[in-house]
Protein backbone atom coordinates (compact mmCIF):
# COMPACT_ATOMS: atom_id res chain seq x y z
CA UNK A 1 0.00 0.00 0.00
CA UNK A 2 1.12 3.54 -0.78
CA UNK A 3 2.06 5.15 2.54
CA UNK A 4 1.56 8.74 1.33
CA UNK A 5 -2.00 9.23 2.69
CA UNK A 6 -0.90 7.97 6.11
CA UNK A 7 2.18 10.20 6.16
CA UNK A 8 -0.02 13.19 5.29
CA UNK A 9 -2.43 12.23 8.08
CA UNK A 10 0.51 11.98 10.49
CA UNK A 11 1.69 15.48 9.57
CA UNK A 12 -1.87 16.78 10.06
CA UNK A 13 -1.99 15.12 13.48
CA UNK A 14 1.45 16.58 14.33
CA UNK A 15 0.16 20.04 13.33
CA UNK A 16 -2.91 19.59 15.56
CA UNK A 17 -0.77 18.43 18.50
CA UNK A 18 1.55 21.41 18.07
CA UNK A 19 -1.24 23.97 17.64
CA UNK A 20 -3.32 22.69 20.57
CA UNK A 21 -0.66 21.40 22.92
CA UNK A 22 -2.85 18.31 23.20
CA UNK A 23 -0.61 15.33 22.45
CA UNK A 24 -3.35 12.73 22.09
CA UNK A 25 -7.08 12.93 21.40
CA UNK A 26 -9.47 10.18 22.49
CA UNK A 27 -12.57 10.76 20.39
CA UNK A 28 -13.18 12.39 17.03
CA UNK A 29 -16.47 13.60 15.59
CA UNK A 30 -17.45 14.51 12.08
CA UNK A 31 -20.46 16.76 12.43
CA UNK A 32 -22.65 16.63 9.32
CA UNK A 33 -25.67 18.68 8.30
CA UNK A 34 -27.77 19.48 11.35
CA UNK A 35 -25.23 18.30 13.96
CA UNK A 36 -23.03 21.40 14.27
CA UNK A 37 -24.37 22.57 17.61
CA UNK A 38 -23.17 19.40 19.32
CA UNK A 39 -19.65 20.86 19.38
CA UNK A 40 -20.71 23.44 22.00
CA UNK A 41 -22.54 20.87 24.13
CA UNK A 42 -19.93 18.15 24.40
CA UNK A 43 -17.57 20.31 26.42
CA UNK A 44 -15.30 23.30 26.41
CA UNK A 45 -13.60 24.16 23.13
CA UNK A 46 -10.00 24.79 24.06
CA UNK A 47 -8.69 25.41 20.53
CA UNK A 48 -10.24 26.22 17.17
CA UNK A 49 -8.06 25.62 14.14
CA UNK A 50 -8.70 26.70 10.60
CA UNK A 51 -8.90 23.43 8.66
CA UNK A 52 -7.25 25.06 5.66
CA UNK A 53 -4.05 25.50 7.75
CA UNK A 54 -3.82 21.77 8.54
CA UNK A 55 -1.91 19.60 6.06
CA UNK A 56 -4.23 17.82 3.62
CA UNK A 57 -7.48 19.49 4.68
CA UNK A 58 -9.42 21.25 1.96
CA UNK A 59 -11.75 24.23 2.39
CA UNK A 60 -15.40 23.11 2.46
CA UNK A 61 -17.57 23.96 -0.52
CA UNK A 62 -21.08 23.47 0.88
CA UNK A 63 -23.23 26.07 2.65
CA UNK A 64 -23.90 24.90 6.20
CA UNK A 65 -20.59 23.05 6.53
CA UNK A 66 -17.84 24.70 8.59
CA UNK A 67 -14.11 24.62 7.93
CA UNK A 68 -12.72 24.30 11.44
CA UNK A 69 -11.11 21.62 13.54
CA UNK A 70 -11.73 22.05 17.25
CA UNK A 71 -10.17 20.48 20.27
CA UNK A 72 -12.78 20.02 22.98
CA UNK A 73 -12.31 19.00 26.60
CA UNK A 74 -15.41 16.93 27.36
CA UNK A 75 -17.32 16.93 30.61
CA UNK A 76 -15.92 13.45 31.31
CA UNK A 77 -12.35 14.71 30.88
CA UNK A 78 -11.71 13.27 27.44
CA UNK A 79 -10.16 15.11 24.52
CA UNK A 80 -12.37 15.28 21.46
CA UNK A 81 -11.39 16.42 18.01
CA UNK A 82 -14.34 17.96 16.20
CA UNK A 83 -13.88 17.86 12.46
CA UNK A 84 -16.16 20.48 10.95
CA UNK A 85 -14.64 20.17 7.53
CA UNK A 86 -15.86 17.05 5.76
CA UNK A 87 -14.75 16.52 2.17
CA UNK A 88 -17.46 14.79 0.19
CA UNK A 89 -16.77 12.32 -2.61
CA UNK A 90 -18.83 14.47 -5.00
CA UNK A 91 -16.28 17.28 -4.67
CA UNK A 92 -14.08 15.25 -6.98
CA UNK A 93 -10.92 15.53 -4.85
CA UNK A 94 -10.62 11.76 -4.63
CA UNK A 95 -11.24 9.19 -1.93
CA UNK A 96 -7.99 9.97 -0.12
CA UNK A 97 -9.26 13.51 0.54
CA UNK A 98 -12.62 12.13 1.74
CA UNK A 99 -11.02 10.03 4.48
CA UNK A 100 -8.12 12.32 5.39
CA UNK A 101 -9.95 13.65 8.47
CA UNK A 102 -10.59 10.14 9.73
CA UNK A 103 -6.97 9.11 9.16
CA UNK A 104 -5.79 12.29 10.88
CA UNK A 105 -7.96 11.41 13.87
CA UNK A 106 -6.39 7.94 14.00
CA UNK A 107 -2.91 9.46 13.80
CA UNK A 108 -3.88 11.81 16.64
CA UNK A 109 -4.52 8.78 18.84
CA UNK A 110 -8.30 8.64 18.51
CA UNK A 111 -9.89 5.31 19.39
CA UNK A 112 -13.58 6.20 18.87
CA UNK A 113 -14.74 7.74 15.59
CA UNK A 114 -18.17 9.38 15.64
CA UNK A 115 -19.65 9.96 12.19
CA UNK A 116 -22.83 11.98 11.76
CA UNK A 117 -24.73 13.12 8.70
CA UNK A 118 -27.94 14.53 7.36
CA UNK A 119 -29.70 12.12 5.02
CA UNK A 120 -32.86 11.02 3.31
CA UNK A 121 -35.15 8.56 5.09
CA UNK A 122 -36.86 5.56 3.53
CA UNK A 123 -39.17 4.81 6.44
CA UNK A 124 -42.31 6.91 6.25
CA UNK A 125 -42.60 7.15 10.02
CA UNK A 126 -39.23 8.92 10.25
CA UNK A 127 -40.33 12.52 9.96
CA UNK A 128 -37.73 15.18 9.10
CA UNK A 129 -35.74 15.81 12.26
CA UNK A 130 -35.58 12.15 13.37
CA UNK A 131 -32.15 10.92 14.56
CA UNK A 132 -31.37 7.30 13.59
CA UNK A 133 -28.49 5.06 14.69
CA UNK A 134 -26.55 3.59 11.77
CA UNK A 135 -26.43 -0.20 12.17
CA UNK A 136 -24.66 -1.03 8.91
CA UNK A 137 -24.06 0.41 5.46
CA UNK A 138 -24.30 -0.24 1.75
CA UNK A 139 -21.37 1.35 -0.03
CA UNK A 140 -22.87 2.28 -3.42
CA UNK A 141 -20.00 4.53 -4.45
CA UNK A 142 -18.20 1.79 -6.40
CA UNK A 143 -14.99 2.74 -4.67
CA UNK A 144 -13.05 2.19 -1.45
CA UNK A 145 -10.69 4.29 0.65
CA UNK A 146 -8.38 1.27 0.81
CA UNK A 147 -5.87 0.66 -1.93
CA UNK A 148 -4.23 -2.53 -3.06
CA UNK A 149 -4.71 -5.89 -1.34
CA UNK A 150 -6.01 -4.41 1.91
CA UNK A 151 -8.59 -6.89 3.15
CA UNK A 152 -10.47 -5.50 6.13
CA UNK A 153 -13.31 -7.23 7.97
CA UNK A 154 -16.37 -4.96 8.25
CA UNK A 155 -18.45 -7.15 10.55
CA UNK A 156 -19.97 -5.02 13.33
CA UNK A 157 -18.45 -1.94 11.65
CA UNK A 158 -20.94 0.29 13.47
CA UNK A 159 -20.14 -0.93 16.96
CA UNK A 160 -23.08 -2.73 18.58
CA UNK A 161 -21.51 -1.83 21.93
CA UNK A 162 -21.75 1.90 21.17
CA UNK A 163 -25.27 1.56 19.74
CA UNK A 164 -26.39 -0.15 22.95
CA UNK A 165 -24.82 2.68 24.92
CA UNK A 166 -26.72 5.25 22.79
CA UNK A 167 -29.98 3.43 23.48
CA UNK A 168 -29.28 3.68 27.20
CA UNK A 169 -29.32 7.46 26.71
CA UNK A 170 -32.45 7.34 24.50
CA UNK A 171 -34.30 3.99 24.39
CA UNK A 172 -36.58 5.29 21.60
CA UNK A 173 -33.67 5.55 19.13
CA UNK A 174 -34.21 3.42 16.04
CA UNK A 175 -31.54 1.90 13.81
CA UNK A 176 -31.11 1.76 10.07
CA UNK A 177 -28.85 0.72 7.21
CA UNK A 178 -27.24 3.72 5.52
CA UNK A 179 -26.64 3.64 1.77
CA UNK A 180 -23.94 5.98 0.51
CA UNK A 181 -24.56 7.25 -3.02
CA UNK A 182 -21.99 9.47 -4.71
CA UNK A 183 -24.33 12.47 -5.24
CA UNK A 184 -24.31 15.42 -5.60
CA UNK A 185 -27.73 14.88 -7.15
CA UNK A 186 -30.36 13.28 -4.93
CA UNK A 187 -31.68 9.87 -6.00
CA UNK A 188 -34.45 9.31 -8.48
CA UNK A 189 -37.54 7.66 -6.98
CA UNK A 190 -36.49 4.45 -8.81
CA UNK A 191 -33.05 4.57 -7.16
CA UNK A 192 -34.71 5.04 -3.78
CA UNK A 193 -36.86 1.94 -4.42
CA UNK A 194 -33.72 0.05 -5.46
CA UNK A 195 -31.98 1.11 -2.25
CA UNK A 196 -34.99 0.03 -0.22
CA UNK A 197 -35.10 -3.41 -1.85
CA UNK A 198 -31.44 -4.09 -1.20
CA UNK A 199 -31.91 -3.19 2.47
CA UNK A 200 -31.34 0.54 2.91
CA UNK A 201 -33.25 2.67 5.40
CA UNK A 202 -31.25 5.86 4.91
CA UNK A 203 -29.67 7.42 1.82
CA UNK A 204 -26.86 9.94 1.86
CA UNK A 205 -23.58 11.08 0.35
CA UNK A 206 -21.03 10.45 3.11
CA UNK A 207 -20.07 8.24 6.06
CA UNK A 208 -19.61 4.76 4.52
CA UNK A 209 -16.19 5.48 3.00
CA UNK A 210 -15.14 7.22 6.23
CA UNK A 211 -16.33 4.30 8.34
CA UNK A 212 -14.28 1.86 6.24
CA UNK A 213 -11.15 3.99 6.67
CA UNK A 214 -11.84 4.29 10.40
CA UNK A 215 -12.12 0.51 10.82
CA UNK A 216 -8.98 0.00 8.76
CA UNK A 217 -7.22 2.41 11.14
CA UNK A 218 -8.40 0.30 14.08
CA UNK A 219 -10.95 2.70 15.52
CA UNK A 220 -14.38 1.83 16.93
CA UNK A 221 -17.09 3.51 14.85
CA UNK A 222 -20.31 5.13 15.97
CA UNK A 223 -22.65 6.47 13.28
CA UNK A 224 -25.78 8.53 13.55
CA UNK A 225 -27.96 10.08 10.86
CA UNK A 226 -30.40 12.91 11.01
CA UNK A 227 -33.27 12.28 8.63
CA UNK A 228 -33.69 15.74 7.16
CA UNK A 229 -36.05 14.70 4.39
CA UNK A 230 -37.98 11.71 3.17
CA UNK A 231 -36.05 10.26 0.21
CA UNK A 232 -37.29 11.03 -3.29
CA UNK A 233 -40.62 9.38 -4.09
CA UNK A 234 -41.20 8.42 -0.44
CA UNK A 235 -42.48 11.94 0.06
CA UNK A 236 -44.95 13.41 -2.49
CA UNK A 237 -42.98 16.70 -2.67
CA UNK A 238 -39.61 17.23 -4.42
CA UNK A 239 -36.44 17.72 -2.35
CA UNK A 240 -34.68 21.01 -1.91
CA UNK A 241 -31.37 21.86 -0.22
CA UNK A 242 -33.22 24.66 1.64
CA UNK A 243 -35.61 22.10 3.15
CA UNK A 244 -32.65 19.99 4.23
CA UNK A 245 -30.94 22.94 5.96
CA UNK A 246 -34.23 23.95 7.59
CA UNK A 247 -34.99 20.49 9.02
CA UNK A 248 -31.43 20.34 10.34
CA UNK A 249 -31.77 23.71 12.05
CA UNK A 250 -35.10 22.80 13.61
CA UNK A 251 -33.84 19.49 15.03
CA UNK A 252 -30.38 20.85 15.87
CA UNK A 253 -30.72 21.57 19.58
CA UNK A 254 -32.42 18.25 20.42
CA UNK A 255 -30.14 15.95 18.46
CA UNK A 256 -27.04 17.84 19.54
CA UNK A 257 -28.05 17.40 23.18
CA UNK A 258 -28.60 13.69 22.50
CA UNK A 259 -25.19 13.30 20.85
CA UNK A 260 -23.50 15.22 23.66
CA UNK A 261 -25.13 12.93 26.23
CA UNK A 262 -23.91 9.88 24.30
CA UNK A 263 -20.38 11.32 24.07
CA UNK A 264 -20.48 11.91 27.82
CA UNK A 265 -20.90 8.15 28.30
CA UNK A 266 -18.05 7.06 26.03
I1 LIG B 1 -29.41 16.03 3.93
O2 LIG B 1 -32.33 12.36 0.22
C3 LIG B 1 -29.61 14.64 2.52
N4 LIG B 1 -28.53 14.10 1.98
N5 LIG B 1 -28.29 10.82 -1.29
N6 LIG B 1 -30.34 11.60 -0.52
C7 LIG B 1 -28.98 11.63 -0.50
N8 LIG B 1 -28.30 12.43 0.29
C9 LIG B 1 -29.00 13.23 1.10
C10 LIG B 1 -30.39 13.26 1.12
C11 LIG B 1 -31.10 12.39 0.26
N12 LIG B 1 -30.75 14.18 2.04
| DSSP symbols for 54-91 | STT-----STT---EEEEEEETTS-EEEEE--PPPGGG
User: 10 Å Cβ neighbour count for 14?
Assistant: 15
Fold of the 4-263 domain: Rossmann fold (3.40.50)
Q: Which are the catalytic amino acids?
A: 187
Residue 64: pLDDT over 60? no
Q: What is the mean pLDDT of residues 201-222?
A: 98
The mean of the pLDDT values for the chain is: 92
- CB burial readout 57-71, b (16+ within 10 A) else e: beebeeeebbbbbbb
Closest atom, ligand 1, to C-alpha of 248: 1
Q: Are 224 and 207 in contact (CB under 8 A)?
A: no
Residue closest by Cα to atom 8 of ligand 1: 204
What are the pLDDT digits (tens) for 136-146? 999 999 999 99
Residue 207: pLDDT over 90? yes
Task: Name the residue among 223, 19, 200 with its Cα closest to residue 104.
Answer: 19
pLDDT at 240: 74
Degrees to nearest 5, angle at CA 111 with 107 and 115 = 95
Where does residue 17 rank: exposed (0-12), middle (13-18), buried (19+ CB within 10 A)? middle
Q: For residue 109, what is the DSSP state? A: T
pLDDT, greater one: 266 or 85: 266
Task: Name the residue among 4, 2, 6, 62 with its Cα closest to residue 36.
Answer: 62
Residue closest by Cα to atom 5 of ligand 1: 204
SS3 223: strand
> How many Å lie between the centroid of ligand 1 and the Cα of residue 205?
7
Place 34 in a pLDDT band, splitting at 50, 70 and 90. confident
Tell me how far apart the alpha carbons of residues 159 and 173 are, in angstroms, rounded to a whole number. Answer: 15
Place 58 in a pLDDT band, splitting at 50, 70 and 90. confident
Q: Which of 63, 120, 178, 182 to mutate to test the pocket of ligand 1 (most atoms within 8 A of CB)?
A: 120
Residues lining ligand 1, CB < 6 A? 33, 118-120, 181, 183, 186-187, 203-205, 228-229, 231, 239, 244
> How many Å lie between the centroid of ligand 1 and the Cα of residue 24?
34
pLDDT at 85: 72
Q: Are 129 and 227 in contact (CB under 8 A)?
A: yes
pLDDT at 181: 98
pLDDT at 10: 97
Task: Tell me how far CA of residue 56 lies from CA of 26, 61, 70, 197, in angstroms.
Answer: 21, 15, 16, 38
Closest atom, ligand 1, to C-alpha of 183: 5
Residue 248: pLDDT over 80? no
Lowest mean pLDDT across 40-49, 57-66, 89-98, 101-110: 57-66
Residue 233: pLDDT over 70? yes
> How many Å lie between the centroid of ligand 1 and the Cα of residue 118?
7
Place 243 in a pLDDT band, splitting at 50, 70 and 90. confident
Strand 112-121 relative to strand 130-139: parallel, antiparallel, unpaired? unpaired
Percent of the chain with pLDDT over 70: 96
Q: How many residues does the chain have?
A: 266
Tell me how far apart the alpha carbons of residues 98 and 10 are, in angstroms, rounded to a whole number. Answer: 16
pLDDT, greater one: 237 or 234: 234
Where does residue 3 rank: exposed (0-12), middle (13-18), buried (19+ CB within 10 A)? exposed
Q: What is the mean pLDDT of residues 68-94?
A: 92
Amino acid sequence: MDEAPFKLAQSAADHIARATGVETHDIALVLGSGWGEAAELIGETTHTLNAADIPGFLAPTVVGHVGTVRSVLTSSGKRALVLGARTHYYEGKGVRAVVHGVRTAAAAGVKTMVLTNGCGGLQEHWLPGTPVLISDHLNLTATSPLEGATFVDLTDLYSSRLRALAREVDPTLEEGVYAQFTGPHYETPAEVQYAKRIGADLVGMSTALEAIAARHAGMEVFGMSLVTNLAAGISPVPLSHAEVIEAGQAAGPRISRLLADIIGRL
